[in-house]
Structure 1
Amino acid sequence: MFDAARQRHGDQQWWLIFSGIEAGNGTGDSVDLARATRIAAAFTEPYRFAAVTTAGFYDDAGFCGPCDAPYCHRHWNVSNTG
């Protein structure tokens, strides 16, 4: 996948490649330096909702605000089979 992303975006750009519990974004999306910096800062340990939400992902990268945890059982309606 990395080679496909390199062909699509070139060597001089930042790109975001992710895979989630249900889907991903394939060969990635171009991001500018400002967004790449926000994402890197948002996912610096310790992981907290207040920081993660600044990355600008539509689902806050799966973090639950009330629980300050990723994919919490109470609010994310996780099934018994995962």
Structure 2
Amino acid sequence: VGVGFLGAMTLRRIALPAAGLYPLATFGLGMVAFAAAGVAHAGAFLAAYLAGVVLANSGLPHRSATRSFAEGSGWLAQIGVFVIL
């Protein structure tokens, strides 16, 4: 949850050079939350999920670009699961 709050605060204060970098930054923050929880021997998937919930509800800039990136990633994950099964 802390990674989500700090990440949201950071993304609101800095200006990235392109709108397409905000979705990558939010994805990276989810990975940071996952890794930090893994190092702390805590629930990594839960930490990444909670960081995503906090980021999704924090009113980030370029929200539509981030949402379309997340939807595309979700579709790719569903296709991957279908192919594996």
Using the size of structure 2 for normalisation, the TM-score is 0.30
Bigger fraction of residues in strand: 1
Bigger fraction of residues in helix: 2
Using the size of structure 1 for normalisation, the TM-score is 0.30
Structure number with greater CO (CA < 8 Å, separation at least 6) is 2
